[in-house]
Structure 1
C-alpha cells in the first residue's frame, strides 16, 4: 500500500473510531509512549520491535495531527521544503544546520 493510501486508511480508521475528535493531549502522551518503546527496542537491538514502534509512532502522529486540525501530509511537505536547501555539517552522525554551528 502506498503512503498516500496508508494515510487515507488511517484517516478513515480514526474517524470510524471517533479518534479524530479525541483529546490531542492524550494522543501526544500516546505518541511519547511509542517513542519510549522505540528507544527501548533500539537500546536492546530488537529490530522487529523497532519496526513495530516506528509504525505505531506514524499512526499516533497522524492521529495527533488530525486532532490538531493539521494535515500530516502538509506538515511533512513543509518540513521537506524547509530542509531542501539547508546547509550544515554532520558531526558524530548528527546533522547540525549551518545557523547552529558556532566558531568556538
Structure 2
C-alpha cells in the first residue's frame, strides 16, 4: 500500500496540464460508475482540509488486499487530496 501512495505522489508531482492520468505508472486506477455513484455517493464523500465535503470517486485499486485509495485530483497547481484508504467500498456489483 505504501508503494501505491508513492506512485500516486509521483503521478501528482509529474502532472503538468490536462487531465490527471496514471498511465505509465505501476498503479491501477479508475472512477466509479454512474449507478454506483447514484446509490453510494455519500460513502465516497469526504471532508477536505478546508471543511468542504467533496466527492472522491477516483481510486487506486489495491487488489491484493481488496482495499482502495480514493483521491481527488483538482488541477496540477494544487496537491492531490486523499480522502479514504481502506476496504473496498460497496458498489452496485460488489456489496462488500
Q: Name the one with the larger helix percent.
A: 1
Greater C-alpha Rg: 1
TM exceeds 0.5? no
Q: Name the one with the larger strand percent.
A: 2
Task: State the TM-score, normalized to the length of structure 2.
Answer: 0.29
Task: State the TM-score, normalized to the length of structure 1.
Answer: 0.27
